[in-house]
Amino acid sequence: MMPDLHELSDEFSWLDRAKELQAIAQNGITFARDPFDLDRYRRIREIAAEMMAKGSMTPQTLIDARRRWQREKET
């Protein structure tokens, strides 16, 4: 039996939240000028990556490597 869409939506809401946190963090890192704000946004980005790693059962090292690759690509 197939799960209904509502059940799937609930199951993956953690991913939507992690993606949103990641986007907020990236915007903050891009536009913040205060070093304390930059530290806070970087921490939010780390939390989002931890959520994605734990929720997807992907090793944290792979998530970190992908984040480094994305940062290098942006510069």
Tokens standing for 18?
């992690």
User: For position 52, what pLDDT does the model report?
Assistant: 87
CA 62 to chain centre: 13
Pair 21, 46: CB distance under 8 Å: no
Q: What is the pLDDT of residues 33-70, one digit of tens each?
A: 999 999 999 999 999 988 888 887 777 777 777 777 76
Q: Which of 41, 61, 36 is nearest to 50 (CA)?
A: 61
DSSP assignment of 13-40: HHHHHHHHHHHHHHHHHHH--SHHHHHH
User: For position 1, what pLDDT does the model report?
Assistant: 53
pTM for this prediction = 0.66
Residue type, 69: W
User: For position 23, what pLDDT does the model report?
Assistant: 95
> 22 pLDDT band (50/70/90 cuts)?
very high
User: For position 53, what pLDDT does the model report?
Assistant: 85
